[in-house]
Amino acid sequence: MGGVYKMRKIAAVESFFSPGHRAVIDKTAAECGFAVDYFTQGHLPADKAADYEVIYGLCPPRELKAAQNLKWLCSSFAGVDAYTDDDLYPNPNVLLSNSSGAYGITISEHILMVTLMMLRQMPKFEEIVRAHRWEKGLSIRSICGSSITVLGTGDIGTNFARRAKALGAKVVRGVRRTKKAGDPAYDEMYTLKDLDSVLPKTEILVMALPGTRDTEHILSRERIALLPEDAYVVNVGRGSAIDQEALMEALNGGHLAGAALDVCVPEPLPKDHPLWDTKNLLLTPHISGNMSLGITRDLDVELFCEDLRNYAAGRRLKRLVDRKIGY
């Protein structure tokens, strides 16, 4: 007698799935020989975890050990620094992938928004009009003609580079870990060893880096000092990439024109933290890549389904993460 066939199963642990998203996931899964269970409360029940070969979404890291039959974890976020520790997994062979490619549009638009707000003095004009004053005397600047450096030339950084170039940036430089050919939006491409020579020529520094040991405090006190006094800094990657104390000192002391941080250390930021009151700082609570934009949700599902087909066919995952380096 033959054994009982056991359907291969996927746990989809996310709250943003619409009926349309579920239909797409279910159809792709069925074509690949999988069934899908949905968990919308942000966690995977421990008594069910061992049923799943694949987890897609935002399963809390502490719950992964219970998934004894897990072979692939696909994060619905691009940043996966919370999932790189081998000790989180039931075995060291579990594949980890991210959703890089889903967030380029929404986060690049956020970068563009805060950059223009700083260049055009919108926070100060907001203070003026809230005080019921009709004043026009502030000088403004433009992306057009600016020298921009993008530190981290993945999907997010490159989406911004394209937009900046379309708005007339004089030069857009990319800085990345390896010297590979970049997108045509970059006029110049450098590696990290060139960063110290690039910063003094930078008017707008955009940081879109993952959280790894190599990127921690990559914008150090010494490198902040290399930036011109009229430079702006935008960080949408990880707060750990900046020496935050040194950045606050530079902003409060007038060494930088301004900064926009969507990420910081720690998160959430305590109410008494000095970052709240730092001069010339636009601070947002890590919302640049939220799932609130419809196209982000649609792309996230589309990318998972693409890699599910790869996984089922025994092909390499397109967004496979090397846990040793963090991306």
254-288: pLDDT as tens digits = 999 999 999 999 999 999 999 999 999 999 999 99
Q: CA-based diameter of the chain, in Å?
A: 87
**b/e string for 187-222 if b means 16 or more Cβ within 10 A?**
bebbebeebeebbeebbbbbbbbbbbeebeebbeee
35-78: pLDDT as tens digits = 999 998 778 999 999 999 999 999 999 999 999 999 999 999 99
Give me the domains of the chain, ranges plus CATH numbers: 8-102+293-312 (3.40.50.720), 104-283 (3.40.50.720)
What is the C-alpha to C-alpha distance for residues 171 and 187, in angstroms, rounded to an integer? Answer: 6
181-197: pLDDT as tens digits = 778 999 999 999 999 99
pLDDT at residue 1, as a whole number: 43
